[in-house]
Amino acid sequence: MVLVERKLETAIAQEMPDSIGIMFDGWSTGSTYYVSAYAIYVVEDSPRRVLLAFAPLLEENDFGADAHITFITETLAVFESDLTVFDSLLVTIAPPTRP
């Protein structure tokens, strides 16, 4: 399964242009807060919305902006990219529900 993951990450990294939009959303279930991150871009006049990550935040007790920035920075590093690729940002955040 790890080989499939690496091949997919490589294919996405090769397809992603130098400038992208990013969309992410956060929600919780039970005591776990999850975040999804999508790259938004166009390839040959065809829009793409590619799921880059779906996981709990790295710091499970920190729901602040810095924790989200760390999450997206670490996610982009997997695709050999960084925060300089942002052309636009769309965020949907609901406050986490705590048990």
DSSP-assigned states of every residue in 33-48 = EEEEEEEEEEETTEEE
Within 10 angstroms of residue 72's Cβ, the number of other Cβ atoms is 19
Q: Residue 8 maps to which CATH number?
A: 3.30.420
Number of structural domains the chain divides into: 1
> Does the reported pTM lie above 0.95?
no
Residue 98 located in a structural domain: no
Is residue 40, in this structure, part of any structural domain at all? yes
Does residue 99 lie in a domain region? no
Query: Residue 83: inside a domain, yes or no?
Result: yes
> pLDDT tens across 22-73, in order?
888 888 888 788 889 898 889 999 999 999 999 987 676 777 778 888 888 8
Structural domain boundaries, residue 61: 2-93
